[in-house]
Every structure is written in structure tokens, then in C-alpha cells.
Structure 1
Amino acid sequence: MSASVAAPAPFDPTAFLPDDLLARIRERAPIHDRENTFPQQDLDELRDAGYLRILVPTERGGAGLSLTQAAILQQRLAGAAPATALAINMHLVWTGVAKVFSDRGVPGMEFVQDGAAAGEVFAFGISEGGNDLVLFGSDTEAVPQADGSYAFTGLKIFTSLAPVWTRLGLHGLDTTSPDAPKLVFAFIDRTDAVVTGDDWDTLGMRGTQSRTTRLNGAVAPADRIVRRIDPGPTPDPIIFGIFSVFEILLASVYTGIAQRALELAVETAQKRRSKKTGKSYAQDPDIRWRIAEMGLAVDALPPQIAALARDVDELVDHGTRWFPQLAGLKHRATVMAKQVADEAMLVAGGSSYFSAHELSRIYRDVLAGAFHPSDPESAHSTVASALLGPIED
């Protein structure tokens, strides 16, 4: 008889996000929202807890977690402070892309893992105003230099972690090399060639401080040029890595926000009492139906996130189906979060309309979901093309 093999211990999110740490983060969240400031203490505590290196392999100084486990943690963090979770997401995207590379035997992003293990903070410099090509094109100039480096000039928007990042992952278009055009993905340091605006005054997600970044010939050294690829859709690991990790972790953040909205709605329904019946609102058939609808919506997302994250971890090849599946996941999560926030506000009643109420902040925060790639138009276009084929000329 063969010896039995012990089952692996279940993943314990509290080992990386203890309850007391989350409580402090949750307590600070309304302050940063009200004052429109970056949650520096959150970042400091998360860094000290090893959170910035959760996706870094153990042999390179990290925790060696899977994308599936990181998604669970981001849901938990988002329930405490949506803006903090969304900001940290952008750092985790790059460490997640580095993991996608290393898991598939693709070299070139080890410096990201080593940097994260050493305390570097990576920001995401892809978004550009009016560039609906997103990963498939860029309005930023990428000019090759004699030593193999590239100088980037252009304007990036929605650069989360703006006050604190130490390295910025970005892309630009090389139009001058003999094999041009080429999209260049690289990393730069914060130097005088990088100007961070002070223009983040938004309806919600105020703590992310996702300010505009102007690049004036910012140089990425040759050893931080990650990829040079043809513009347009491609199965290149950099495109797959960014798209898969970004969409999965983004869906995780908005699912975590929805879970918190549901939790607050349940607490409120149990506390509020009807003058008419003398019973708690938890006994009101209409409120019960509304909360049940919220629960049905929220419960659908974590298994979807886990399934796709596990497929990335296990190198499953969905081929061209990857993009509609990932875009669909992100779209469903952000739409669901907004719907749940709407319902939670109605359950909580008029008090939730006051800006000091947590649901008021959640209601504003979830609105940002529609503006992240893939936006609703892009998601529908991607899925339509997968099901119906491309639009005929």
C-alpha cells in the first residue's frame, strides 16, 4: 500500500493581511478620501508585511504566491480600502507579469522581481488620453539611443502611486529604427525627465493619486527594455501577461468592494427597525429580496476569478479565447460592483447619502471601474468578435 500524501494546507489570507492591519487601513481610508491624499501609511505597513513581494518567487526573496492567491488577497484588501487596493494593484500587475514570464521560461523581467524584493515600487504607465488601442499602440515616442537604451517622450494618464513609485513600467512607439514601427515596453527610474502633475481631484478612488505623468526624454537603459514587438494584437508574453494579470486583479478589487457593500447592507438591515412593524429591516420581504439579489450577484465572481487565475498559474492555453474571457471577467466584476453598491445604498437608506458614510465612498469608488481597460465598449467588441467574427469591410 502506498503511503498517503498529506493535502497542502489551505491558503490563509490573514497570514499576509492580518485583521489588525486591515482595521488600521480601513480606519485611514475615509481620511485619504476626504483630504485627497495618498495612503502612505498603508503602503509602509504593507511593504513591511511583505505584501509588495507576494508574487515574487521565494528564491528571489518573495512569498512565492500564485496569482490565484494574490486575487484572494486583493479582494480582502479592497474591502478595507478600495483606493489602497487599486493603487497596490498596479505594482502587483508588474510583479505578476514578471511571474508570467518566469513561469513560462521567458527571460527579461527578473529585475522586476529583484526590485520588488528590495522594496522598489512599480507603477503602471500605459494609459494615454485618447489612445483606445491601449496595449496595441502608443502616442509616446520611443527613440532608440546608441547604447541600446530608449528615450521616451509623451504623456501618460492615470498613473497610480504617482507620489511614491520608484520605477515606471511603460510603452512607447519606435518609428525610426530600420524595422519600425515597434512597440517598446520598458522601465524607467524617477528622474528630472519625469514630471508628475498634481491633477488628481476626482469623484472617487482619490487615494490612488493616479496623476498625469509627462515624459521628457526619460531614458530606460538597455537592460530594462523588456520587449520590442509589432503594434497591434499579438500573443507575445508581454501582452498576455499584462492583460491577464491586470484584468484578473482589477476584477478582484471591484469584487472585494462589492463584498464590503453587501456586508454593510446586511449589517444595516439587521440594525434598522421599522416604526411601522417594530421589526428589523432584515424581516422586511422587500429588503430581503434586495439583499438576496446582491448576494447572488457577488457570489458569482470569486469562482470566475479563481478559475481564470488558476489557468494562468497552470499555463492553460485558451488561445484566442483568453481575451474575451479576461475582458468579460473585468466587465462583469465592475458592472456587478456598481449594481451592488446601488442596492446597498437603498438598503441603508438616506444616511448613506451623507459623504461620511462608508457606502457613500464605496458608491463613488465603484464608478471608476468603467474607465479601466477593458471599458464596456472594448469588452463588448472583443466578445462580439469572438462569437461572430470580425466586422466585414
Structure 2
Amino acid sequence: MKFQQLDTHADRLKLMDQLKSKFFERAGQIDVEGLFPFENITELQQSGYTSLTVPHQYGGMGISLAEMLMLQEKIAEGDGATALSIGWHMGIIKNLTEKRTWSEPIFKKICEDVLNGSLINAAATEPQTGSPTRGGRPFTSAVEQNGGWTITGRKSFTTMAPVLNYFIVSASLEDGGVGNFLIPREVPGLSIEETWDSIGLRGTGSHDLVLENVRIDKEFMVEKIQPGQKQANGWLLHIPACYLGIAQAARTYAINFAAEYSPSSITGSIVELPNVQQKIGEMELLLLQSRHFLYSVANLWDERSDSERRDMQPELSAVKHSVTNSALAIVDLAMRIVGAKSLSLKCPLQRYYRDVRAGLHNPPMDDMTISLLARSAIQSITKP
């Protein structure tokens, strides 16, 4: 069954529930052995999921941001690494659909390839510059020569590197500007160095992309960019959706454990104990708050015009901050319910704990969000 054969959002969620169960079955081995989830990604491609954000114009379904986030959240309940990985691809296609910053022939070609299973992600982070959201100028360079571009450099944290067909690479230009370049995987001089050794989200395959005098045609400089420019990007809500899904999985595991665990010191199971119910209630409150915040802002994004969306950066950043930090708290509460057993390698909670912690290092970072909210509040009072 393919997602494109299903008429309703509810039916698509049911199909993702089926895929999610398979992802969960593989998640433990992927984490322990540091594997890339090839089977998960293949199943998402074969189900048609990876083309759902392609616009109707080019044969896709053009699903809303809110629906994309709900499906991403489901994936994360099964395996956070798979969700975060495919979320970049899904979101980038959605963002390109909404903003149309690339030439139409290039975008059309990418959409056609995505319909046939191709995957895309950006490669912007570098060891010397840190997160691109901080405004650092890339050390990767692009030189225009012989009617094309020659690109040299190294990018870190290239999520889903083992299976990507296209890389969007930021590089410094000779005129002092910065460009984004679309680079197909098969070009000579492109290689992947397997450097990913994180203890969280081990299955994302976020290795280094190495470019050694890579030659591409002139039209593959797809746009000029301003480093550190803070645009409103609704698609980045796939990040908090991922961590919300992990938190939901932790909550479900903890409640099931509490309902079944009956130590000899009590009658019945620990789910009946007031202190355990207190923690369950706290988890539920955080989940309700997070879900309402995330999807209310996503629905606003879907409903608003392009000009109205430009003013949504404070809300988008606040959602990521709030949901990610709440997810951390939910996993912590779940582990307190389960106790020392939550630290066993056989228990998924220890994986959720490591995975959800990674959310603090996805953009935008907490300090930048708080600073943005402060500036926004001050301007709302002082602006004439």
C-alpha cells in the first residue's frame, strides 16, 4: 500500500503506524551497533512517503505542514534517528515548494527524481564555523571557471549521508558572497568519510561530506544566501515533531511498565501508587502543551500568506525550544517511573534519553531563541 492511494489523513496515519512498528523492532540493533537504518528508509521510499511534499504541479500530493509533522512524529515513536533523517528531506522539498527560490527547471528535475525515490539534504555545518545559524562564513569554496564551478571543502553532520542522491552545499564565493550549490552524489571528487560517532541518534549516518575539486555546471548554483540570515522556516518544525514522538514513546513505555510491574512490597501494580500517577500526570500535561503548541503554530503556517509567514520566526523558534525541552523532561519522568531498569541496554528508555538530548543541538539553539523573543517583545513596546 502506498500513501498516494489513501484518500484521508487518518488513513495515512494508520499506514505510518504500521511502518512505525517495524522501525521500532529494528531501533535497538541500529542503536547498539551504530548502523544506518537502510531498511527503514527503503520502506519509506517504497511506500511513497518521501514524495508526499512534492507539489501537485509536479505529480506529488503537496501535503500540509501540519500533516507532515504528524507523520514525522509517528516515525519518531518507532525510531528517532529515522524520523530526524527523513525529516530533513521532507522539509527541504516542502520549503522549496513554498518559496520557489530555485530556477523552475532545476526544481522540476528534483521533484521528478524525488518521485522516483531520490533523497536530498543540505550540508552546511563545518568544523571551523559551527552551526550555520550563527552566521559563520563557510570555509568550503566555490570558484567559477570554464563555464562551471569548482568546489572544495568539508562539511560535517551530513545527515542521511549513506543514501543521499543530492547535497545542497553552502560555499564561499570569490566576490565575498555565499552560494548554495546542488551537487549530485555521483560527481567525481565527492566522497563520504564515516565520522559519525555520537551516542545519540546513532542511526542518522551524519558523516562528513568531502569535496575535492568537484566540478558542476553553472546552473547548479541554485541561490545566493546571507550567512546567519534568520528567515521564517515552517519546515524546521520537523525537528520538535521528532523529539515529541520520542517523548510519546517514552511515556507509553513507562505507563505500560507501571501497569505490569508488581513488586512484592505492594498489592497490585505501581501504576496505582500516587507518586507514580503524579509523574504520569506531569508527562501528560507536558505532552498536551507541546502538541497544542506545535500544531497550532503549524496550522497558522498553513493558513497564512507568504508575507504573514515572514513574521512568524519568534513563534517557530519558541515551539522548537518549548517542545524539545518538554520532551527532555518527559523522558526523564518516564525513567524515574521505571527506575534503575531504565538504564539497561535492553530498555528503550536509555536510547530515548540519549536521542532526545540531541534536540538541544538542532537549530535554533535555546540561547538564540530566548534572545529573539526578548528583542521581539522589546520592539513590540518601543517601536513607533
Same fold (TM over 0.5): yes
> CA offset at residue 353 of structure 1?
0.8
> Residue 198 of structure 2: which of 192, 196, 202 is its match?
202
Residues 16 and 208 of structure 1, relative CA distance in 2, 3 Å threshold: farther
In the alignment, the residues of structure 1 paired with residue 280 and residue 128 of structure 2 have an alpha-carbon distance, to the nearest angstrom, of: 39
**Equivalences for residues 1-393 of structure 1 within 5 A:** 11-12=9-10, 14=12, 17-102=15-100, 107=104, 109-131=107-129, 134-135=132-133, 136-146=135-145, 149-174=148-173, 176=174, 180-190=175-185, 191-233=187-229, 239-240=231-232, 243-246=233-236, 248-316=237-305, 317-318=307-308, 321-388=311-378
Where 1:359 maps in the other structure, the secondary structure is helix
Aligned-pair RMSD on alpha carbons?
Answer: 2.4
5+ residue gaps, structure 2, are 1-6, 380-384
Q: TM-score, normalised by structure 2?
A: 0.89
Equivalent position SS for 1:349: helix
Q: What SS does the aligned partner of 1:123 have?
A: strand
CA 115–224 in structure 1, closer or farther in 2 if over 3 Å, else same: farther
CA shift in 2, pair 1:67/1:338, >3 Å: same
TM-score by length of 1: 0.87
Instruction: Report the Cα distance in structure 2 between the residues aligned to 1:148 and 1:258, rounded to whole angstroms.
Output: 50
C-alpha deviations, 1:277-335, integer Å up to 9, x for none? 31221111111011111110011122222222223333444466422221211111211
Change in CA separation of 1:105 and 1:31 when aligned onto 2, cut-off 3 Å: closer
1: distance between equivalents of 2:55 and 2:194? 35
Partner Cα distance (1:372, 1:70) in 2? 19
Task: Letter of the 2:26 partner, please give it.
Answer: R
Q: Which amino acid aligns with 2:303?
A: E
Alpha-carbon distance in structure 1 between the residues aligned to 2:162 and 2:35: 10
1:131 Cα shift?
2.6
CA distance in 2, matches of 1:371, 1:303: 23
CA contact (8 A) 2:53 2:93 kept: yes
Deviation at 1:88, TM superposition (A): 0.7
Q: CA 1:218–1:106 in 2, change beyond 3 Å: closer, same or farther?
A: closer
> How far off its partner does 1:367 sit?
1.1
Describe the shift of the 1:381–1:129 C-alpha distance in structure 2 as closer, same or farther (beyond 3 A): farther
SS in 1 for 2:181: strand
Corresponding residue pairs, total: 370
Structure 2 CA distance, aligned partners of 1:157 and 1:16? 36
Q: Are the aligned partners of 1:261 and 1:344 in contact in 2 as well (CA < 8 Å)?
A: yes
Within 2, Cα distance between the matches of 1:363 and 1:66? 30
Runs of 4+ in 1 over 6 A off after TM superposition: none
C-alpha change, 1:129 and 1:331, in structure 2 (3 Å) is farther
Gap change, CA 1:162 and 1:295, over 3 Å in 2: same
